[in-house]
Amino acid sequence: MVRKEFIDKWQKERSFYDKAKVIDVRTGKESNWPYIESVEEMAYKTWIREVVDPATDQYYLGKTQKITVTEDGKEIITTEDIEAHQVVQQICRLRTETGHEFLLSIGQLVGYNEFADRKVRSYSKIEMYQETTFAYNRRMDDRTGKLVNACAGPNGSIAHYLMPFTENNLAKLYAMKEEIKPVYMYCKDEATGNAKQCLTYEMFRDKPFDYIMNDDFLTEREKEQRRADFEALQKGLAEERAKKQRN
Q: Which domain covers residue 243, as residue numbers?
A: 219-247
> Band of the pLDDT at 25, cuts 50, 70, 90?
low
Q: Are residues 136 and 228 in the same domain?
A: no
106 contacts 86 by C-beta, under 8 angstroms: no
The DSSP call for residue 20 is: S
Q: Is residue 4 part of a domain?
A: no
Q: What is the average pLDDT across 211-221?
A: 87
Contacts 24+ apart (CB under 8 A), 212-219: 212/187, 213/187, 213/189
Distances (CA, A) of 8 to 12, 52, 81, 126, 235: 7, 16, 26, 8, 45
> Band of the pLDDT at 226, cuts 50, 70, 90?
confident
* Terminal Cα distance for the chain, rounded: 66
Task: Give the model's pLDDT for residue 107.
Answer: 97
Q: Is residue 67 part of a domain?
A: no
Tell whether the model's pLDDT for residue 144 goes beyond 90. no
Q: Is residue 68 part of a domain?
A: no
33-87 pLDDT tens trace: 999 999 999 999 999 999 999 999 999 999 988 899 998 999 999 999 999 999 9
Query: What is the spatial distance between Cα 123 and Cα 89, in angstroms, rounded to a whole number?
Result: 10
Q: Are residues 34 and 121 in the same domain?
A: yes
Q: Are residues 119 and 236 in the same domain?
A: no
Q: Are residues 105 and 186 in the same domain?
A: yes
Q: Are residues 100 and 202 in the same domain?
A: yes
Q: Are residues 204 and 237 in the same domain?
A: no
Q: Are residues 136 and 238 in the same domain?
A: no
pLDDT averaged over the chain?
A: 91
178-204 pLDDT tens trace: 988 999 999 999 999 999 999 899 999
Task: Give the model's pLDDT for residue 236.
Answer: 77
Pairing of strands 128-141, 52-53: unpaired
Task: Give the model's pLDDT for residue 168.
Answer: 98
**3-state percent breakdown (helix, strand, coil) of the chain, nearest 5:** 30, 40, 30
Q: Are residues 167 and 183 in the same domain?
A: yes
